[in-house]
Structures are given as C-alpha cells and as structure tokens.
C-alpha cells in the first residue's frame, strides 16, 4: 500500500534542498573566485619546498697541483629515539654505536634518552665510521650530509691557509683574505614534492643555480712548505724557543714559496688550538731585525756612492754616536776593515760608520724604499706594517742603532721582500700567494707587481757579491751549501721590553739569505725568538737555512753553480 505524501511536505523538502544547493553553490563560487588565492596557497604550501642550494667552496692547491684545502660533504648521524624502540633496543643501539663513535655506552644512551624527538649523535663523521654505522642497520638512525672543509696535509701551511669557522666564514690566511671569492654565492630551488618527498617533475619549479666559489692555485710549493715547517720545528725544539717563523720567496717576482709560523695549529680542529698559535708570525708579528738590516744600510750607502765595498775604516770594537757608545758583539775589534768585512764580521761599529756617511734622511728614505714601515700588500689577512719612526723622532744615536737593525720593527716578510730586491737586481716586488684564480669567467692569473726600485742593478750586484762573501768568508759560513753559491747575513737582535729598555739575555736570532747567489731562485728568512743558546741562536738559524736551502734547491731542480 502506498501512503500519500502531502504536497506541502514535498515543497518543504524541495525548499530545503534548494537552500542547501544555493548555499553550496555560493560557497563553491566563493572558493573559486574570492577565496581561490588562499586555497591555492594553502594547497601549494603542503607540497612546496624552498631550498637554499649551497655553493661549493673553492678548492685550494699548491703550484704543482697538490690539494691543500677542499670542501667535502661528510655525513652527520642523527637519531629519532622513538623509532629505535624501547629501552632495551636503545641500550642495544648505544652499545653498538659507542665504540664506533669513540665514546661510552652511557653517553650514547643518555643522548638517546634525553627526551629529544630528533637529535644529532655526531656531526661530520669520517666516511669509514659512517659506513660502519650504516651497516649496523639500526632503525631510527639516519644521515644528513653537511659540508666540511678538509686540509689533507694536516697542519702543513696552516697559517698560510687559515681556516673556515662553523658558520662557513674564512678566517686568517688565504681562507680569510679570499673568503668572498672562495665562498661563491648560494642558489635557490622552489619545487613541489610528493608524499615521499620526491621532487615532482611536472610541478612548480623555480631554480636559481648556485655560483660555486673560485678555485685558487697558490704560489706555494708543498714540498718547500713542508721542509720550511720541518726545519723551523727542529730549530725551535733544539733552542727551546717559544716561537719562530720562516719565509721563502721567489725573488724574481715576489711569489711566496713557503711561509711557516710556530706555534702552529691544525686548521681542521681550530677549537683545540692555542689562540697564540693562530697568529701568523711571518706577517702579523714585528720584531727588531738586528744585523740582517746591515745589508740594507750598506746597500743604501753604496747606491748613494758614499762608500764602496773596499772603503776602509778602523774598527775599534765600538763606535760613538750621539754621545752614546755602541759596541760590536762580544766587544770584538777588527782593526782596519773594509765595508765587505762589516758584513763578514757583522760589525756594529762598521754599520755605524756607514750610516754616518749616509745620513739619517737618506737612511730613512732607503728604509722606506725597501718597504719597511708599510705593509707589503701581500694577499693574506692581518698583515702588520712594522714601524719606522720619522727622522724628526730620531735621537742622534738612532742613526747608529737603526743601521744595525735596532730601533725599527719589521715583519719577517718585509725583510724577505727587501732581500729579494737585492737578489733580483734591485726591484721590490709585492709578495703574493695566489697565482691563479679560476671561476665561472675563466682563469685569472695574478700579475706580479713591481712596487719600486730601491737600488740600482749595479748596487744589487755588488751587494750579492758582498753577501756571498759574508757566507763564504764570514760568520755566516754555517749557511754555506756544497755546490751552490749562497748569499746571506745573520741577525741577532735584543728584544725591547714594555718600558722601552732592552731585555737582558733575550734575543731574536735570524738569518736572511738567498741562493744561488749568481742567479737567485729563492730568498729565505729564518727567525727564532728567544733561543736558549742566546747569542749562539744564529748558528741554529743558519743550520736551519742550510737544511731548507738544500731541500728548496732540490725541489726547484736547480743545478749546482759551484764545483
């Protein structure tokens, strides 16, 4: 039997349906028109991911192509404790992980039970460790790649290279000076992802590729750098000296072949380094160079034709200037001596004699011309400029003391650059470390910069002969290398205290020289601070120079120029 439905009820139902349909239509219309943007944005947010594409930091190599610094993505181990399992599973995981991470079971377990939903167990693991952990197949563990700056030669060239801090910013050395070029600029990628976090090929895709950092090739030779650090370390240990430095330059264009500083550090673990060790003593530290400056004083006097190598004076073991008496080392008197013999004997009185002939203004001008008192402009971070006081501030005695390297402050690099000018025929070059920079625009070669010509070629040739005689016939004989002509000069300088007086029994011993003297291919400066043997510290410096010279001459494949 069919019950009749009242038309009124039908109309009410129809009206309800009509209203509902109208409301639904209006709502749909709203979302399709006014609310479309919000809806689309909400939907896109669920699948869209904005990524920063990190730029690869540039690689640093030595002049032969040996790798000095590179960035590699190492794997960081993270854990999601809830996915590992219950307490027993966490304990089992901790006992397996602890030996691989080099820690205790308890330490790993405490980390996993810290309450964190997600945590790093160890960042930037060595690849072998990461593989070993991966092979354990522990659920709840995962890896995330993070860039790490690696220095495969450990501490070799640490001061030269500098380091990269945790924020990826280069500090000190090449990393600091060339940070902008090495860093490059990051890119970005906006993509839509599927539920499995894979990029959709047909979805939204806005990409701006990163610009990788420039690759640098240095003028440094890793073999010479290693030799420089080796001889410095040996000399430091022998003399129980707290610090020291070595600079090796190519005098032909100012290219730095090696630059060593002690104490040193491992650039891969800077956090453990002594803050004092971060200072590059070859460029950031100044000292009174002592007798190595006699070569500069005599070069100036010969260039001004006020003396010749054969000019004589009567050496009484001391000189009087400005009412002060300045003595030779150990008060030795050499009698009638030539200017060449001043270098051979390292006679302070002789240097005072030459400086008196030259005059304060001329000496000051030549010091400036040789680059003392101004930064060399080397392409490394934190270079000191040294100190050469204006002549107006000189006491009369200063002409004498500055003539033998006391009363001015210089960096080892400045002294090396000055000796390079003598070695190369009279041109002062700006020292530089980066030979080529390769970026997206191609390869850019650094052009050597000739700063000025402090002395004539004739003066330079004369000085090379005199400095060779200093090694062959003088107190610098300890630096002689069999089969090669070597030119050089020792330096022993007193150390000024904070109150301006010189310390008793505290010296800086150094040696500056080049070889082969007839056609110099390298200049080296060795500096030892406060050697235990005091005045005899120069013997150690000379021995270090000799050892370094042998290695450098071999590395550069230079043929002997003497039988």
Question: Where does this chain bind other proteins (CB under 8 A)?
Answer: 66-67, 70, 72-73, 127, 145, 150, 152-154, 156, 198-202, 222-223, 226-227, 229-230, 482-483, 554, 559-560
Minimum distance, C-beta of residue 227 to other proteins, in the bound complex (Å): 8
Query: Whole-number minimum distance, CB 208 to other proteins, in Å?
Result: 17
Q: Tell me the closest approach of the beta carbon of residue 515 to other proteins, in angstroms.
A: 15
Q: How far is 382 from 279, CA to CA, in rounded Å?
A: 9
Element of type H or E holding 131: helix 127-136
Least Cα distance to 556 among 248, 323, 182 occurs for: 248
Shortest Å, Cβ 550 to other proteins: 8
Nearer to other proteins, 29 or 560 (CB): 560
Q: To 10 degrees, the CA torsion angle through 326, 328, 333, 337?
A: -90
Minimum CB–partner distance for residue 214 and other proteins (Å)? 17
**Virtual CA dihedral for 129, 133, 134, 135, nearest 10 degrees?**
110
Cβ atoms 542, 478 nearer than 8 A: yes
Q: Measured from the CB atom, is 25 or 49 closer to other proteins?
A: 49
Residue 36 or 205 with smaller CB distance to other proteins:
205
Q: Within 10 Å of residue 503's Cβ, how many Cβ atoms? A: 11
Measured from the CB atom, the residue of 23 and 53 that comes closer to other proteins is: 53
- Nearest residue (CB) to other proteins, 222 versus 525: 222
Question: Which segments of 80-193 are extended strands (E)?
Answer: 119-125, 141-150, 163-164, 170-171, 187-192
Query: Rounded CA gap, 379 and 447, in Å?
Result: 13
Task: Give least dist CB 126 to other proteins, A.
Answer: 9
Residue with tokens 């260039």: 303
User: Do residues 61 and 67 lie in contact, with contact meaning Cβ atoms separated by under 8 Å?
Assistant: yes
- Provide the phi-psi class of 116: left if phi over 0, else alpha when psi is between -120 and 50, else beta: beta
CB 222 to other proteins: min, Å: 6
**Judged by CB, which is closer to other proteins: 229, or 383?**
229
Beta strand residue intervals within 316-449, DSSP E? 318-321, 324-327, 335-338, 428-429, 434-439, 442-445
β 215-218/60-61 pair status? parallel
Give the C-alpha separation, 461 to 526, whole Å.
Answer: 23
Per DSSP, 168 falls in state: S
Strands 312-315 and 335-338, by their bridges, are antiparallel
CB-based burial label for 80 (10 Å; 0-12, 13-18, 19+): middle
| CB hemisphere CA count around 98 (13 angstroms) | 16
Question: At its nearest, how many Å lie between other proteins and the CB of residue 67?
Answer: 4
Residue 24 CB contacts under 8 Å (≥ 6 apart), including other chains? none
* Residue 540 to residue 491: CA distance in whole angstroms: 12
Residue 465, preceding peptide bond in cis (omega within 30° of 0): no
Q: How far is the CB of 245 from other proteins (least distance, A)?
A: 18
CB closer to other proteins, 65 vs 390: 65
Going by C-alpha positions, the residue among 181, 244, 189, 142 that lies closest to residue 530 is: 244
Q: Based on CB atoms, which residue is closest to other proteins, 105 or 192?
A: 192
* Residue 166 CB, nearest approach to other proteins (Å): 20
Between 36 and 482, CB nearer to other proteins:
482
Q: How far is the CB of 171 from other proteins (least distance, A)?
A: 21
Least distance in angstroms from the C-beta of 186 to other proteins: 16
Nearer to other proteins, 75 or 437 (CB): 75
Q: Which is nearer to other proteins, 54 or 365 (CB)?
A: 54
Least Cβ distance, residue 141 to other proteins (angstroms): 19
- Alpha helices in 145-293, H assignment, sequence order: 158-161, 173-177, 179-183, 222-239
Name which of 229 and 379 has its Cβ closer to other proteins.
Answer: 229
Q: What angle do CA 230, 232, 233 make, to 5 degrees?
A: 65
Contact status, residue 373 vs residue 386, Cβ threshold 8 Å: yes
Residue 223 or residue 319: which is nearer to other proteins going by CB?
223
**In whole angstroms, how close is the CB of 438 to other proteins at the nearest point?**
16
Residue 218, both tokens = 């240095």
| Residue with smaller CB distance to other proteins, 128 or 331 | 128
Give residue for tokens 């309800």.
16
């Amino acid at each position: 039997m069919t019950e009749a439905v009242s038309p009124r009820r039908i109309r009410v139902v129809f009206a309800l349906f009509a209203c509902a349909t109208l409301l639904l239509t209006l709502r749909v219309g709203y979302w399709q028109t006014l609310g479309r943007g919000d809806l689309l944005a909400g939907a896109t947010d669920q699948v869209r991911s904005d990524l920063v594409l990190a730029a690869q930091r540039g690689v640093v190599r030595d002049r032969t192509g040996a790798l000095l610094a590179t960035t590699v993505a190492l794997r960081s181990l993270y854990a999601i404790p809830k996915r590992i399992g219950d307490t027993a599973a966490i304990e089992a995981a901790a006992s397996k992980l602890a030996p691989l991470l080099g820690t205790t079971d308890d330490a790993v377990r405490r980390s996993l039970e810290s309450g964190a939903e997600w945590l790093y167990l160890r960042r930037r693991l060595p690849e072998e460790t990461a593989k070993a952990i991966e092979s354990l197949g522990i659920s709840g563990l995962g890896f995330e790649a993070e860039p790490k700056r690696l220095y495969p030669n450990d501490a070799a060239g640490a001061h030269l290279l500098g380091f990269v801090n945790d924020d990826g910013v280069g500090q000190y050395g090449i990393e600091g000076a060339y940070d902008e070029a090495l860093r490059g600029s990051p890119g970005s990628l906006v993509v839509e992802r599927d539920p499995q976090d894979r990029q959709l090929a047909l979805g939204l895709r806005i990409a701006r590729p990163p610009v990788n950092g420039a690759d640098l090739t240095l003028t440094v030779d890793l073999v010479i750098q290693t030799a420089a650090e080796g001889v410095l370390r040996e000399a430091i240990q022998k003399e129980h000296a707290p610090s020291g430095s070595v600079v090796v330059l190519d005098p032909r264009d100012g290219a730095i072949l090696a630059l060593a500083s002690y104490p040193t550090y491992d650039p891969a673990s800077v956090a453990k380094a002594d803050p004092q060790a971060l200072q590059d003593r070859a460029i950031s530290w100044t000292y009174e160079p002592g007798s190595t400056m006699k070569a500069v004083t005599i070069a100036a006097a010969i260039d001004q034709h006020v003396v010749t190598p054969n000019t004589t004076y009567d050496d009484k073991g001391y000189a009087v200037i400005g009412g002060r008496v300045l003595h030779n080392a150990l008060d030795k008197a050499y009698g009638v001596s030539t200017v060449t013999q001043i270098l051979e004997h390292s006679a302070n009185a002789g240097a005072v004699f030459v400086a008196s002939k030259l005059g304060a203004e001329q000496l000051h001008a030549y010091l400036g011309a040789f680059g003392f008192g101004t930064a060399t402009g080397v392409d490394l971070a934190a270079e000191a400029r040294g100190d050469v006081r204006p002549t107006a501030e000189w006491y009369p005695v200063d002409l004498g003391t500055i003539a033998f390297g006391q009363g001015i402050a210089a960096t080892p690099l400045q002294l090396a650059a000055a000796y390079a000018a003598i070695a190369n025929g009279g041109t002062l070059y700006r020292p530089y470390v980066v030979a080529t920079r390769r970026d997206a625009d191609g390869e850019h070669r650094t052009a050597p910069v000739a700063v000025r010509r402090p002395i004539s070629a004739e003066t330079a040739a004369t000085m090379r002969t005199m400095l060779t005689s200093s090694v062959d016939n003088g107190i610098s004989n300890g630096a002689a290398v069999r089969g090669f002509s070597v030119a050089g000069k020792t330096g022993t300088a007193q150390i000024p205290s904070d109150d301006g007086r010189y310390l008793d029994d505290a010296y800086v011993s150094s040696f500056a020289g080049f070889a082969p003297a007839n056609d110099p291919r390298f200049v080296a400066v060795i500096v030892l601070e406060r050697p235990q043997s005091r005045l005899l510290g120069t013997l150690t410096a000379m021995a270090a120079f000799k050892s370094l010279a042998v290695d450098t001459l071999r590395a550069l494949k230079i043929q002997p120029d003497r039988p």
